[in-house]
Amino acid sequence: MNKVIVDTSVWIQFFNVPQSQEKVQVDKLLNNNRVVIVGIIISELLQGSHSRKDYEEIEDKIIALPYVEVSKNTWREVGKISFKLRKQGITLPLTDIVIATLAKENGYEIYTLDPHFKKIPGVKLYLNPHSAG
């Protein structure tokens, strides 16, 4: 089974909405050792903490996950993808393009609530079997 990069949008649901479908799915992915983390998501999650307690809870949960490093070639590919999209009139956050590039390079899926990823060619999205759509 493919590894999955869980995007910040899903982690927010995971930490803030205990009964959410995202929490259920991430727990399943975690139990099956399918979740990997990337630097930008670590930073986004920690910066969004509401308190020291939240910060520590988030850090404890994500710091032990397998980590995917960004290489110089990854950065070049991010620039290339962003350039091609902009030439088509599509401007996306660079953070999303970094996540998408890492997923593509490693054959990972992305679990996200963010529609931006659908605009990036070659991205495999993790489809929550319980989502409506």
pLDDT in tens, 19-68: 999 999 999 999 999 999 999 999 999 999 999 999 999 999 999 999 99
Predicted TM-score (pTM) of the model is: 0.92
> Any idea where the domains of the chain sit in the sequence?
4-122
Residues forming beta bridges with residue 109, ordered by sequence position: 4, 124
Q: What angle do CA 49, 55, 61 make, to 5 degrees?
A: 115
Q: What span, in angstroms and rounded, lies between the C-alpha atoms of 45 and 95? A: 13
Beta-carbon contacts of 93 under 8 Å, excluding residues fewer than 6 positions away, are 116
C-alpha span between 93 and 43 (Å, rounded): 15
pLDDT digits (tens, 9 = 90+) for 97-131: 999 999 999 999 999 999 999 999 999 999 866 55
Strands (E), the chain: 4-6, 35-38, 67-68, 109-111, 124-125
According to CATH, the superfamily of the domain at 4-122 is 5'-nuclease (3.40.50.1010)
